[in-house]
Amino acid sequence: MEISKTELLQRFTAYAEIDTASDDKSTSFPSSAKELDLAKYLTKELTELGFSDVEMTEYGYVLATVPANGVDVAPVIGLIAHMDTSCEASGANVDIQLHENYDGGILKLSENAKLDPAEFPELANYVGQDIITSDGTTLLGADDKAGITAIVTACHYLLQHPEIKHGKIRLAFTPDEEVGRGTEHFPLAQFAADFAYTVDGGALGELNYETFNACNVHVVFHGVSVHPGSSKNKMRNAVTMAAEWQMSLPSGERPEYTEGYEGFYHTLRIEGGTDTVEIDMILRDHDKQILEKRKAYLLALTELMQNKYGQGTVECILHDSYSNMREYIMPVFEIVERAENAMRRAGVEPVLVPVRGGTDGSSLSAMGLPCPNLFTGGHNFHGRFEYLPLQSLAKITEIVVRLVEAE
């Protein structure tokens, strides 16, 4: 099976050049209006390519169908990727760089940015391949525009090759996955798939059916601001309170110290001054009971600080975001095995690893649509040093074709 790398690069570049950063402070849906720019682009592209039932819903989801071909009885398979990119790094004016035939050395992205294998040793796996990056001033957007690229290209390949028999395929491209709201208005009944796959993972071969359980945390410290020259026994410094909170978190249970199945407390941002400080955090763990213990720890810390500084001085608001999809996948584990078989037929050995994060599939699985996750091939998501081997993108595209092929 020959997947055109030129077509993949052109399609990915077109998507990456559209800024779709979601906004974790917004209450609208989508959280950022610019996400609709890609939704409209995809709606037009899919229509022109000959997909059926193409539409953009009122909430910005893009849906499409590849009709069944030569198969009377087959499950309806869904393919899902998200359109938004992380707001942790700029997604505006992405300048795509293609580093052909990588020689194993330092990749110069621009005058002030480089990808050094001493810092990113996984680069050694891609010597001789073609590496896609930004210019180092923005993220690349492989998370998850590589997933969209693979799905669109694979399904277009099926439309061009009627000799490949398959059942009905449903496509969905979602907004706001990066801010944990990607399934908030997902048209589940309209999508009408028996099971689905997100294409939203990492390195070549990764296959996931376990994700974190997730809780978002917002903490507010109420201080009393008084002129420092006359503040004795009057000032209550919210900055000091926030620092005490931060130093009370278990020091070894942070993202930079954990891996595999280890969970963490992660402080995303601290904003404010003497009078008021706000902290945004996330709690993550694959084990739901351990996540509950983390939540209980924060509530106990809140009570401890209330007793020290006074009632009403600390607010801790917990909001569960998504759950580990493992419990929903295990009863239908044959859909994971289907993905394993597709990978092996494409010459890729599956690597089953837990997602140290979540996907739209986490929530969709809980909603009744079992949804494992496939790799995109990308690395270093959410930052300026994100990169995507073109050969990995070609492989996941081939795997998607084999995944939906009639068994």
pLDDT in tens, 160-170: 999 999 999 99
Average pLDDT score over the chain: 96
Burial of 215 (0-12, 13-18, 19+ CB in 10 A): buried
Q: Within 13 Å, how many C-alpha atoms sit on residue 377's CB side?
A: 28
| pLDDT confidence of residue 180 | 86
Each residue of 73-111: pLDDT tens digit?
Answer: 999 999 999 999 999 999 999 999 999 999 999 999 998
For 263-376, where are the alpha helices, taking DSSP H only? 288-309, 326-329, 334-345, 360-366
Mean pLDDT for 5-33 is: 96
Q: Is the pLDDT of residue 397 over 90?
A: yes
> Do 202 and 356 form a contact (C-beta atoms < 8 A)?
no
Nearest to 246 by CA among 224, 262, 269: 269
pLDDT tens track for 296-306: 999 999 999 99
- Cβ atoms of 50 and 39 within 8 Å: the answer is no
Give Cβ neighbours of residue 132 (< 8 Å, ≥ 6 apart): 9, 12, 96, 97, 98, 99, 140, 142, 387, 388, 389, 390, 393
195-201/77-82 β-pairing:
parallel
Residue 36's pLDDT band, with cuts at 50, 70 and 90, is: very high
Contacts of 125 (CB under 8 A, 6+ apart): 203, 204
CATH of 213-322, one of 3.40.718.10, 2.60.40.1180, 3.40.50.720, 3.30.70.360: 3.30.70.360
Amino acid making up residue 286: H
Which pTM does this prediction carry? 0.89
315-344: average pLDDT = 96
Rounded mean pLDDT of 283-293?
Answer: 97
Confidence of residue 72 (pLDDT cuts 50, 70, 90): confident
Of residues 380, 358, 377, 387, the one with CA closest to residue 16: 387
- 264: pLDDT strictly greater than 90: yes
Mean pLDDT of 113-139: 97
Candidate list 84, 143, 210, 360, residue with the active-site label: 84
* Residue pLDDT, tens place only, 215-240: 999 999 999 999 999 999 999 999 99
Those residues with Cβ within 8 angstroms of residue 393's Cβ, 6 or more apart along the chain or in another chain: 5, 8, 12, 132, 146, 149, 150, 376, 377
Of the candidates 177, 206, 360, 398, the residue annotated as catalytic is: 177
pLDDT at 336 over 90: yes
What is the reported pLDDT for 25?
87
Q: Model confidence at 209, in pLDDT bands (50, 70, 90)?
A: very high
Q: Is the peptide bond before 144 cis (omega within 30 degrees of 0)?
A: yes
- Residue 84 a catalytic site member: yes
In the chain, domain spans: 5-211+324-404, 213-322
Per the annotation, the verdict on 177 as an active-site residue is yes
The arrangement of secondary structure in 5-211+324-404, i.e. its CATH architecture, is 3-Layer(aba) Sandwich (3.40)
Distance set, CA 362 to CA 245, 299, 352 (Å): 30, 26, 16
Of all residues in the chain, the percent with pLDDT exceeding 70 is 100
pLDDT at 407 over 90: no
CA atoms within 13 A on the CB side of 241: 33
pLDDT in tens, 353-382: 999 988 999 999 999 999 999 999 999 999
Task: Give residue 196's pLDDT.
Answer: 98
What is the C-alpha separation between 311 and 298, in angstroms, rounded? 16
